Structure 1
């Protein structure tokens, strides 16, 4: 029931905007054509063939956009495709000077955004009845990021945290979930990066490789992982060479996704023909401007305007990358621990490790442990379990490290949103003044390295 006031609030906001919109603007179904071409910047300077001109691409974009507008429901949504369509519309706004007669107004876009927020709230509210699909949640997270909302702070819910608690069922979803997390500037662990690199070099399906390249290109935007840039060349060239004689990569979706993945990689110019790929998409557009449905049409639009999912992180939303105390690069050799002095010094340090049970903290247990500096917290947990059975735990081995799901006999309950949260604190945790969310450890138990004076808290609570 905690969501009911929020839903009612959104509904009132949407109603108010609707009334205001009726007074100020009217939605016209007569779309005027413009003779000014859409200026889509291309990294390739080759001459366009006669059948694929800038004007024909402009026509495809305009017709696809008209189709999307025509598919909008009375509640300002696009049913299950709302997040994809909103992402495309937001990125299309960079061409508002030439598409202004078709693009939704700011009022309309905000109404659709509010409707999407309602959809997310309902999805969270009904997760007991209908489990949340990780790929669907990733779509919402990407849309929120495109709209300059932080999915880590969605009305008190960390959607990225929820996303990362789900194990991806396949390589495509894993890459998609990682892309959503990276786009929101969340921490990506070294084992996740290693898995992405492995997928990029071994996967055969075009869509899997393309999505993986998109995720890796997002990660490379972080200055800590610039050294991965060279690792993208081989899988990118291999993917580019898979272009077929008709210009496509197997089907419409694969072609649109590959175009997004290879966009702006000018060194690949000799390995594939972007113009032929655009011609492939243009030739498969339905007479009404659609590419089958609103979701696929949105994917194609991102490819045609050369503003794909990979650029969302670059949008100017007035936010900056978060600073993490412990960040380990792909080789695990370079650790950012400048706040703790000289890394070469080996000595023993003492830390405390506390368990809290319940949001109202019905159980509180603390132990002090001395171990060599820079010992992983996972090792500390093993030492604590040997010293006191109350600290016994169970963990799953994931590609990105150990995931602790049970402590002191309490197992996480995703359906009830009961999770174990790990905090790294500057002082012993006080039940009368619980730590804020920003003190949650930025990395997992394997990558978290202990220092003198650290205090660690594992808190079993309802999110």
Structure 2
């Protein structure tokens, strides 16, 4: 039973991928892929494209392999392609069908890594935090909710294992925020600590921290943190070197994304010089060393970088018609599309302790519709220490074993049971066992008027 969700997920992706073999043949025939690629390569060599972005895009498309991916860089490249404004290089962007095939390739990559985890000895997810963050950001950019990836909450997994290194932590927090997942107060405090000691950190760490904080302040609940961005942003801007760069291509591209549209610090750095530094290091064929770095540079020069993902309106791509709705997933993601009150829902969450209910606590929480109940539990824990919990992570999600200081005792047959109810639970009329939630905390998605009960009782 533990591996069932992964088996189903792998089967679904494999089925979808097998269908795409025919699509691939059609794409190769209808779009004359080989001829187009050769034409792009020839044109790039002759430097007929006008801008650095166009040259980089043309080169990037030529690096696509026969499986429609870019080896280890598929997620980063797809993010850059999806965020590139159509008016910049409409003729160079992959077609709708080609983007679908590339998305399927990335989807297979993620499922295979999760599959390996399911059969590893210690159930460890063999995806490093930066790589998982990269996948989550790519899924977000493509309007696919990473919290609902074939029964897996990839954001929950990312947040459960808080990264030790500050750069990886900031990257993971940016991915979670971009997915509109709950960012806990202690995570925000850690970002603020990094920002307030910016001089003690590397440029890439500070830039990624600013990106994460800028994402967080877009949430109306954290707009009061806007002022905390000014000092670290100025400190970062002042690290610009005489050649216009920030030490290397990656740092400069990341800094451009972090300081984008921050007009109040324009006196502290030269944005044009930073762009010139990047463009002067472009290879004759249009590349910036490799696909990963080239994609990062495209995000920086196009001014629609990682910081813009949270703002995507996944229900409308009218201005970017080449930007693909993956198999209708844009529509399913749109319920997470903004922070407006219309799309928020209010639920109650109750804890009972003991078969005779000696302790009873209830909290009301407002959050975006379809938020996972695991994220609701995190929010409740931040608001009220009585809702503190501990959970183990398994390949098919989190298993909550401790709540309010009470840990399950299998030897005494004491367990926590989760119920999803149509009304607030009444101790005088306890719910029947048929109302126990049919899925785990990661797969349980909230709706308006839901009432949830975790009851510690003897079976």
What TM-score does the superposition give when structure 2 sets the normalisation length? 0.72
Q: Does 1:67 align with 2:67?
A: no
Q: Is the 8 A contact 1:352 1:366 kept in 2?
A: no
Deviations 1:244-293 (A, max 9, x none): 11111111111100100000001111011011001111111122221121
Q: Is the 8 A contact 2:355 2:456 kept in 1?
A: no
CA distance in 1, matches of 2:443, 2:154: 17
Q: Is the 8 A contact 1:3 1:125 kept in 2?
A: no
Name the CA shift for 1:159/1:351 in 2 (closer, same or farther; >3 Å). Answer: closer
Partner of 2:39: 30
Q: Is the 8 A contact 1:352 1:368 kept in 2?
A: no
Partner of 1:420: 400
CA distance in 1, matches of 2:440, 2:239: 45
Tell me: higher relative CO, structure 1 or 2? Use CA pairs within 8 A at least 6 residues apart.
Answer: 2
User: Which of 106, 112, 116 pairs up with 1:122?
Assistant: 112
CA distance in 1, matches of 2:299, 2:279: 13
Partner of 2:136: 141
Partner of 2:4: none
CA distance in 2, matches of 1:366, 1:441: 27
Q: How does 1:26-425 map to 2 (within 5 A)?
A: 26-27=32-33, 28=36, 29-31=38-40, 58-92=50-84, 94=85, 96-127=86-117, 128-129=119-120, 131-203=126-198, 204-318=201-315, 319=334, 320-321=337-338, 352-353=351-352, 366=355, 368-370=357-359, 404-405=389-390, 412=392, 414=394, 417=397, 419-420=399-400
| Deviation of 1:438 (Å) | 9.9
Name the CA shift for 1:85/1:191 in 2 (closer, same or farther; >3 Å). Answer: same
CA distance in 2, matches of 1:207, 1:56: 33
CA distance in 1, matches of 2:24, 2:141: 23
Name the CA shift for 1:124/1:366 in 2 (closer, same or farther; >3 Å). Answer: farther
Query: Alignment partner of 2:267: what SS?
Result: coil
CA distance in 1, matches of 2:290, 2:314: 30
Query: Alignment partner of 1:83: what SS?
Result: helix
Q: Is the 8 A contact 2:399 2:440 kept in 1?
A: no
Query: Alignment partner of 2:214: what SS?
Result: helix
| Deviation of 1:308 (Å) | 0.7
| Deviation of 1:68 (Å) | 0.9
Deviations 1:69-125 (A, max 9, x none): 111110000011000000000011x2x244122111111111101111111111111
Q: Which runs of 5+ in 1 are unaligned?
A: 35-54, 328-335, 341-349, 355-364, 376-396, 407-411, 443-452
Q: Is the 8 A contact 2:152 2:396 kept in 1?
A: no
Partner of 1:381: none
CA distance in 2, matches of 1:441, 1:16: 32
Name the CA shift for 1:458/1:322 in 2 (closer, same or farther; >3 Å). Answer: farther
- Let me know the Cα RMSD of the aligned residues: 3.7
Q: Is the 8 A contact 1:420 1:458 kept in 2?
A: no
Q: Which runs of 5+ in 2 are unaligned?
A: 1-6, 316-333, 365-380, 404-417, 445-450
Query: Alignment partner of 2:51: what SS?
Result: helix
Partner of 2:22: 16
CA distance in 2, matches of 1:353, 1:441: 22
| Deviation of 1:405 (Å) | 3.8
Query: Alignment partner of 2:126: what SS?
Result: coil
Q: Is the 8 A contact 1:424 1:440 kept in 2?
A: no
| Deviation of 1:302 (Å) | 0.5
Q: Is the 8 A contact 1:146 1:315 kept in 2?
A: yes
Name the CA shift for 1:413/1:458 in 2 (closer, same or farther; >3 Å). Answer: farther
| Deviation of 1:169 (Å) | 2.1
Q: Does 1:433 align with 2:438?
A: no
What TM-score does the superposition give when structure 1 sets the normalisation length? 0.71
Deviations 1:345-402 (A, max 9, x none): xxxxx96426xxxxxxxxxx74624478879xxxxxxxxxxxxxxxxxxxxx99xx99
CA distance in 1, matches of 2:180, 2:397: 23
CA distance in 2, matches of 1:72, 1:374: 51
